[in-house]
């Protein structure tokens, strides 16, 4: 990979070469970010479609208004807190906080933004971030899930202060030159933003089952793909904090980010809510097959290539339009009735005229498996 800029240089030196995030194993994208986490079992990431999450934000807000923003924000904050603890990111009392915070921001920048600038005040526990070409909100104009929620969760956990919230006050997706947000304790933010709400988070501890279900599988078909394999083949381009496939942007996140989001949407809005998740993800999958001009007879093979590369286990063709997924990503928040990002994206990749895709899930031997099958409507 040609080094074009500072962000790309950091990505290669600090992420790819030391395999802090492993992009070279089919079906699994594993992460060990901090020195503390390197001694434990790695987290499991998946590549997520920016288009899908942006459409989810836009369409939920359009249908459900401010309640949707609150649910998106809560989901993001809940994930941010969970992730920080899973990765054992040093907190405000750590003697290494300054160096680790710089390392975290630069690494965060390599997959989510073209540039991030910070103003950090440890004494007041305030953080101001300016983002350029930041993921999701540049397309949705909402930003509640990631720009506000996820980062507020990170900062809340690092500062050991559950009252910390986040407010985005400028957004490229709303016509501003850059995205800007502030994260601080509620009693500080409310003075300038009186309409802000406190968002208490119910935390779910990471169980040992998480690591068993997501344990790396080392025996796999050589025909399966990985992010690195697609990068080497020129199918995925990395440039200034962006992974691009056919000009569609994807980003890696620990898998429970999706499960938390889907669970909260289902509990708040029921089937109409998760239908938006499915439809948004379907659109993202279909855009890929359309952009790549994938023929009907090649859609099964294309789906297997994409899903194995993006961390969704070890797919195997059973017949044309029928795929067996082994060792799918799993978290404590998983439930088949709201697992609609995966179903929508796969359905979009496989879609044909007058068909739908049927899904069946199986759990056995500490692994989650599924069959996706195209059926006529």
For every one of its 377 residues, what pLDDT tens digit does the chain have, with 9 covering 90 and above?
444 578 888 888 878 777 889 999 999 999 987 655 555 679 999 999 999 999 999 999 999 999 999 999 999 999 999 999 999 899 999 999 999 999 999 999 999 999 999 999 999 999 999 999 999 999 999 999 999 999 999 999 999 999 999 999 999 999 999 999 999 999 999 999 999 999 988 877 788 899 999 999 887 777 899 999 999 999 999 998 999 999 999 999 999 999 999 999 999 999 999 999 999 999 999 999 999 999 999 999 999 999 999 999 999 999 999 999 999 999 999 999 999 999 999 999 999 877 899 999 999 889 999 999 999 98
Please give the distance of CA 240 from its chain centroid, rounded to a whole number: 18
Q: How far apart are CA 202 and CA 219, in angstroms?
A: 38
Q: How far apart are CA 101 and CA 98, in angstroms?
A: 5
pLDDT at 154: 97
What's the chain's Rg over C-alpha atoms?
20
- Full-model pTM: 0.94
pLDDT at 296: 93
Cβ atoms of 22 and 9 within 8 Å: the answer is no
Domains contained in the chain, CATH given: 31-192 (3.30.1380.20), 209-376 (3.30.1380)
The side-by-side arrangement of strands in the sheet containing 322-328 is 314-319, 322-328, 368-376, 355-363
> In the block, which residue shows the tokens 């909260």?
264
């Amino acid at each position: 990979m040609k080094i074009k800029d500072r962000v790309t240089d950091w990505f290669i030196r600090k992420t790819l070469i030391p395999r802090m995030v492993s992009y070279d194993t089919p079906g699994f994208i594993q992460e060990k970010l901090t020195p503390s986490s390197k001694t434990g079992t790695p987290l499991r990431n998946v590549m997520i479609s920016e288009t899908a999450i942006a459409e989810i934000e836009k369409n939920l807000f359009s249908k459900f208004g401010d309640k949707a923003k609150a649910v998106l924000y809560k989901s993001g904050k809940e994930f941010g807190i969970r992730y920080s603890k899973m990765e054992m990111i040093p907190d405000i009392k750590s003697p290494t906080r300054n160096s680790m915070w710089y390392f975290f921001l630069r690494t965060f920048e390599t997959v989510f933004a073209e540039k991030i600038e910070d103003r950090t005040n440890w004494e007041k526990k305030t953080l101001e971030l300016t983002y350029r070409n930041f993921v999701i909100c540049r397309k949705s104009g909402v930003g509640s899930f990631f720009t506000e929620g996820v980062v507020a969760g990170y900062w809340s956990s690092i500062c050991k202060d559950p009252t910390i919230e986040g407010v985005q006050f400028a957004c490229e997706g709303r016509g501003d030159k850059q995205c800007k947000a502030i994260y601080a304790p509620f009693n500080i933010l409310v003075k300038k933003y009186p309409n802000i709400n406190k968002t208490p988070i119910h935390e779910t501890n990471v169980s040992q089952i998480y690591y068993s279900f997501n344990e790396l599988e080392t025996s796999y078909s050589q025909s399966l793909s990985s992010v690195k394999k697609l990068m080497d083949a020129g199918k995925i381009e990395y440039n200034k904090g962006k992974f691009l496939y056919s000009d569609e942007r994807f980003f890696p996140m620990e898998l429970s980010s999706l499960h938390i989001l889907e669970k909260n949407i289902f509990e708040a809005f029921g089937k109409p809510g998760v239908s938006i998740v499915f439809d948004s993800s379907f659109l993202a999958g279909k855009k890929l097959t359309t952009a790549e001009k994938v023929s009907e007879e090649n859609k099964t093979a294309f789906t297997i290539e994409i899903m194995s590369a993006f961390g969704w286990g070890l797919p195997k063709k059973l017949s044309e339009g029928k795929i067996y997924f082994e060792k799918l990503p799993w978290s404590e928040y998983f439930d088949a009735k709201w697992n609609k990002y995966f179903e929508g994206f796969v359905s979009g990749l496989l879609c044909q005229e007058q068909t739908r895709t049927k899904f069946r899930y199986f759990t056995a031997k500490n692994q989650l498996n599924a069959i996706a099958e195209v059926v006529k409507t």
